[in-house]
Amino acid sequence: MRPLNNWNIIGVLIAIIFINVNFRNQTGTPPTLAFNWYPYIRNGSIFVNDIHVHHWFICFTLLIFLVPCQITNKNPFLLIINGMLLVLMIQGLLYEDRFDF
């Protein structure tokens, strides 16, 4: 069994395009598509009880639950989402402030 299939790769490509349009890997600057939904989202960053929750941590948490589903269920939508989450998690871990909460 291959670890990635064509649907995962499509998710990876979508995530790479999204990252290049939205984040541009600049620490401390808001994303291009930033929006506010106070008190939970401020300048595109997610906050819980005034603690910044990084997008890599959210992606990691979702992957813990969704990868087992991918093994048992070959739903193309789920495979695309997992590919996107993997790339977004890796991209978030490349920031210098990745462990500053």
Q: Which domain holds residue 43?
A: 6-24+33-93
Query: Looking at residue 10, what is its pLDDT?
Result: 93
Residue 100 domain flag: no
Is pTM beyond 0.75? Reply is: yes
Long-range contacts: 10-14, Cβ < 8 Å, 24+?
10/80, 10/83, 11/79, 11/80, 11/81, 11/82, 11/83, 11/84, 11/85, 11/86, 11/87, 12/83, 12/84, 12/86, 12/87, 14/80, 14/83, 14/84
Q: What is the mean pLDDT of residues 1-29?
A: 79
Query: Looking at residue 1, what is its pLDDT?
Result: 47
Query: Looking at residue 101, what is its pLDDT?
Result: 63
pLDDT tens-digit profile of 23-37? 765 666 777 777 888
Residue 98 domain flag: no
pLDDT tens-digit profile of 58-97? 999 999 999 888 888 878 899 999 999 999 999 888 877 7
Residue 53 domain flag: yes
Residue 99 domain flag: no
